[in-house]
Chains A and B, each alone.
Chain A
Amino acid sequence: MNPTTPALPDYLNLSETVRERMARLKEREVVLEVRNMGKKFKTRRGDVTALNDINFKTHRRELVCVIGPSGCGKSTLIRILAGLESATSGEVLLDDKPVTGPGSERGMVFQGYTLFPWLTVKKNVMFGPEMNQRGSFTAEREARQWLELVGLEKFADVYPHQLSGGMKQRVAIARALVNQPRILLMDEPFGALDAQTRLKMQTHLLEIWKNIDITILFITHDLDEAIFLADRILVLKANPGEVAEMIEVNLERPRRVEDLTSAAFMATKARLTELIHAPVVEPDDGVQLHLLRMTDISDVVE
């Protein structure tokens, strides 16, 4: 790609290496399959469709990002995948077996910090293995191993409140991965972090993902984050939440920070912006701004 070319390449026009990688990826077994899945909420004003006819497949060791405008039901989607809520129609299959409730084969990292405040970092990571009767000796050994992997072995005996936001989420990732889940569900895990920490965590996550056998489904509302991390991006649209497009990201791996400004990146981002900020057909919340100029200084700031 020639960076001086003014026109952005078409986001669908995948480079040769990326296309080959995608082909290899799709040959791998399907870990998660969502079939005709829908979710309706009953409210006083009748049923509200949060998700409608969602279909997609995630292959082994794939990293899928889910992105969409607010209210598109992406959190509902991941909660259904985790088994914390149930779908009203269709089904979710993990390794061809239907998902019926929460379980340790689907690890989850939440947006808010959900470390157990009464347990030390190490005990937090040991929680899963202990719940699954792995014995406290094994649990401790595995916990240490995973803390080392996320670089927090020094903080093993510290309580969560003494950690920074980024560290807390790293512990949360270790806590989910120690159970060796088939898929790791991440619900805007870096949303509360500052931009610098977020980028560090993204790179860190890619590093972990590369080195272990894990499939990741990652929810975000940050376009850059989605493109930087994902093999494919599932774009949802709102009212009702439906799949707008599944985009294959035209970036080679390993991803580097320089990719964030590359032409391919920009093309994908332009497409995502177009999809997510599409003109709203339905009237939104009815809030309109009636702005008077409340200044007596004569110059206009813009």
Chain B
Amino acid sequence: MKPAFWFALRKTLPPRSKLIVGSCSFLLPLLIWCLVSYVPFIWHPKIQITSPGDVEYFQNGMLVDAADFVSESDNQRQLGKILPQGVPANPVYLPAPHQVALAFYTAFSTEPKQRDGLWLHESLWHSIQVIFWGFMISSLLGVPLGILCGTYPALARLFEPFTEFFRYLPAPAFGALAVAILGIYDGPKIAVIVIGTFFQQVLIISNTTRKLDFALLEASMTLGARGIKLLTHVVIPGILPDLYRDQRILLGWAWTYLIVAELIGSSSGITLFITQQARYTNFANVYAAIMMIGIIGLGTDLLLSILEKHLFPWERAANRD
């Protein structure tokens, strides 16, 4: 690919290049991860003991700092004892790609350790439900309010300054309060997601509504549209595609609040799984679970974007331009 390819200003890529460059977006980070994991002279600050020799506290499979390993080896050499053997290794918190890939499989196939523990898929399902209800409740209130604020300046003046103030309050700060009010189970978790999403939602959607070309409203008035019909027949259909895109972005934000939300009250869902696995130093599982969130998030977003093309056929050409 010539330099002209990389620095062509806002030109649509041919589909093949699009696919290749797009895959590189995922393959490059993976490549870096592979390099760091599998090439022994890149990083590898630890030594994994393969034979402890005469060092008393070394054990097979143990990870020690490279410096300690060298000094212990020197000691043993001076004393004329058997030298320890080891291979360079990365810290325990950076598992290699194949370990994480394996964990994807084992995490789903391994029974939970405690008898009342949840399988990974059950944890995930629980998280998805919390997100769903949090986002649903937020949207049921936030979308109509946003549209009203964007349409009627008086309402915007009444609601927006307070909303603007409230959105700066970190949602997790309401965790303790939410537990006191809603108990320790899913109530406070959903509440934190609602608080984190709702205020942004009102502001973003009112802004989107204001961006609707006023000439469309004027045109509809000269055609005899009045009152509530302006809202139902012009404003709402007019902003629908943008509203949909806003909701997609907001859903992403709701996911970012999930982890904090799940730590509130009794830990649950994917967060409980992650914290437990980290406690047992099963970092491969931790990475697998984190990636799972990414995959679910990206997956729903892709699904929604495909759906978008079918929902709003009049937008298709506009987007292509």
User: Interface on A for B, CB 8 Å cutoff?
Assistant: 82-84, 101-104, 106-108, 110, 112, 114, 116-119, 127-128, 131-132, 159-162, 175-176, 179, 185
Q: Which residue of B lies closest to A175 (CB)?
A: B223
Q: Which residue of B lies closest to A108 (CB)?
A: B222
Question: Do A114 and B216 touch across chains, with their CB atoms under 8 A apart?
Answer: yes
Q: Which residue of B lies closest to A106 (CB)?
A: B222
Interface residues in B229-246 (C-beta closer than 8 Å to A): 229, 233-234, 237-238, 240
Question: Do B233 and A131 touch across chains, with their CB atoms under 8 A apart?
Answer: yes
Specify the main secondary structure of chain B where it touches its partner: helix
How far does the Cβ of B80 sit from chain A's closest Cβ, in whole Å? 86
Question: Do B318 and A114 touch across chains, with their CB atoms under 8 A apart?
Answer: no
Which residues of chain B come closer than 8 Å to A131, judged between CB atoms?
A: 220, 223-226, 229, 233
Which residues of chain B come closer than 8 Å to A116, judged between CB atoms?
A: 216, 219-220, 234, 237-238
> How far, in whole Å, are A56 and B314 apart by their CA atoms in the complex?
43
Question: Do A118 and B218 touch across chains, with their CB atoms under 8 A apart?
Answer: no
How far does the Cβ of A299 sit from chain B's closest Cβ, in whole Å? 37
How far does the Cβ of B258 sit from chain A's closest Cβ, in whole Å? 34
The interface on chain B, measured as residues whose beta carbon lies within 8 A of the other chain's beta carbons, has a size of: 24
Q: Which residue of B lies closest to A185 (CB)?
A: B222
> How far, in whole Å, are A179 and B224 apart by their CA atoms in the complex?
9
Question: Do B221 and A118 touch across chains, with their CB atoms under 8 A apart?
Answer: no
Interface residues in B77-120 (C-beta closer than 8 Å to A): none
> How far, in whole Å, are A103 and B229 apart by their CA atoms in the complex?
14
> How far, in whole Å, are A261 and B236 apart by their CA atoms in the complex?
50
How far does the Cβ of A187 sit from chain B's closest Cβ, in whole Å? 10
> How far, in whole Å, are A103 and B220 apart by their CA atoms in the complex?
9
How far does the Cβ of B159 sit from chain A's closest Cβ, in whole Å? 27
Identify the 8 closest CB pairs spanning chains A and B, nearest first.
Answer: A104-B224, A102-B221, A114-B219, A108-B222, A128-B223, A159-B314, A131-B224, A118-B237
Q: Which residue of A lies closest to B318 (CB)?
A: A161
> How far, in whole Å, are A108 and B229 apart by their CA atoms in the complex?
19
Excluding A102-B222, A104-B223, 5 further A-B contacts by CB distance (< 8 Å) are A84-B218, A112-B213, A117-B315, A119-B237, A161-B318
> How far, in whole Å, are A175 and B317 apart by their CA atoms in the complex?
23
Interface residues in B291-319 (C-beta closer than 8 Å to A): 312-315, 317-318
Which residues of chain B come closer than 8 Å to A117, judged between CB atoms?
A: 238, 314-315, 318
> How far, in whole Å, are A117 and B317 apart by their CA atoms in the complex?
11
How far does the Cβ of B227 sit from chain A's closest Cβ, in whole Å? 11
Name B219's contact: one of A110, A159, A179 (CB within 8 Å).
A110
How far does the Cβ of A109 sit from chain B's closest Cβ, in whole Å? 9
A110 with B215, Cβ < 8 A, contacts A118-B312, A131-B223, A132-B224 known = yes
